[in-house]
Amino acid sequence: MTELHKMTACDAVAQVASGDITVEELVRDHLAHIAQRDAAVQAWTHLDADAAIAAAQAMDKAGPTGPLAGLPIAVKDLIDTGDMPTTYGSAIYADHQPATDADVVADSRAAGGMIFGKSVSTEFAWRNPGPTRNPHNPAHTPGGSSSGSAAAVADHQAMLSFGTQTAGSVIRPAAYCGVIGFKPTRGSYSTAGVKPLSPYLDTVGLFARAVADIELFDRALRGSEKAIPQTRVSSPRCGVLLPYKAQLGSGAEAAIERGCRAVEKAGGTLVEMPFNQAFEDLAALHVPIMLGDAGRSLAAEFRDHSDALVPFYREKIAEGQAIDDATHHANQAEADRRRMEMAAMFHGLDMIMTPPAPGEAPHGLEATGDPVFNANWTLLGWPCVTLPAGMGPNGLPVGLQLVAPFGADQALLTLASWLEPALRQECN
């Protein structure tokens, strides 16, 4: 039994349940692969091999159960774990050990998942990058802020992982690393135990290498009583929206073209969406809401550890604190109003196809890429999923972003599952 780390999560659960493999075998195989690749990718802030093996042995002894039985899960270092350090990507919290798990971690354990280790986050899930490299080319960023979570799944170092998104921190790194990224409707998963950056925008998201694995993870987190199976649309109508065309690179354009061909090959209908100034204008609302929240969420760090913050953080936290409460609340109320207004975008459509990033992952590790194609969807709170869509001109992954209306998470995943095989064929 070699290369167990390359199985899908669904296959691994089935083989653990049937007794064909043990959780210990699965974990040891992942650890052996990580030992070979860790220096190149650097996806982890904490990974205790002995503890992981001991936990796997305990699972095998008790008999692994639950929908995530034995699956190695990477947890973004923004999310609390009661048995592992959580530093929020910051030297300020280098020795921080939470007393309890975040809700999503506890839910994963309850579903039988193996909390494998902590994956690198940019500092406070914002702009200051960690050491993680893109698995496809270590000279390029994996994206952020969920850098380690995307890279670990892409490099087969974990089967599933948690990220968070406040602007583009799940959808964009998934595109850059060539994996599935899922940002559910805001509020779908609890953010209790997740270090806040912008409580209005912060959303816990997921990474995997197949849509079926995301569906498995999502059902486990929601609980069976909340996971309503969706009837597949026989001929879905897919809107194609290309905002911010000046920022759109050739790799992203080619990915959209492949996506369009895949939709038609799978039996769907394409609908070209016109230029939408109201949608593009949402960026001017996302920025002050995020800054206003960040100024409040990081007030203690700004007050007590200002010298330890990079200049960008000091400047932007101060800028956020200068936004008075009345203005901040008015901005959020305006976002609520626009969410209702913008719902008309989906009239006659089942989903929207749009770029997840300007193109391939940029060269260098000093920045994690531009969230221009993500922030407005995050502001609206609608569910989004990244699908890998081949390679760009520099040999790095590019992707597609699919979006559905507020609350239509299961419908979106069903549509992503419908499109996935046709898109894979189109990319080969």
Q: Mark 340-355 as b/e (b = at least 16 C-beta within 10 Å).
A: eebeebbeebbbbbbb
**297 labelled catalytic:** no
DSSP-assigned states of every residue in 236-257: -EEEE---SGGG--HHHHHHHH
Report how far residue 269's alpha carbon sits from residue 279's, in angstroms, rounded to the nearest whole number.
23
Beta-strand pair 203-208/180-183: antiparallel
Which stretch of DSSP H or E encloses residue 260?
helix 250-265
Q: Where are the alpha helices (DSSP H) in 111-178?
A: 147-154, 171-177
Q: Tell me, yes or no, if 6 is annotated catalytic.
A: no
Element (H, E) at 386: strand 384-391
* DSSP tag of 227: -
Say which of 108, 119, 121, 145 is annotated catalytic: 145
Q: Which of 210, 271, 212, 204 is nearest to 236 (CA)?
A: 271
Specify the amino acid at residue 65: T
Distance CA 195, CA 293 (A): 12
DSSP bridge partners of 388? 399
CB distance 206 to 174 below 8 Å: no
Determine the 3-state secondary structure of 65 from DSSP: coil
Q: What burial letters (b/e) apply to 227-242, b meaning 16+ CB within 10 Å?
A: beebeeeeebebbbbb
> What is the gyration radius of the CA atoms in the chain, in angstroms?
20
**284: which 2 tokens?**
């001017």
Order of all β-strands in the sheet with 237-240: 44-46, 114-119, 72-76, 160-165, 203-208, 180-183, 384-391, 397-403, 351-354, 237-240, 269-272
- E strands along 261-383, which residues? 269-272, 351-354
Residue 131 to residue 142: CA distance in whole angstroms: 10
Question: Which residue among 90, 169, 188, 198 is the active-site one?
Answer: 169
195 is catalytic: no
Give the active site residues: 76, 145, 169
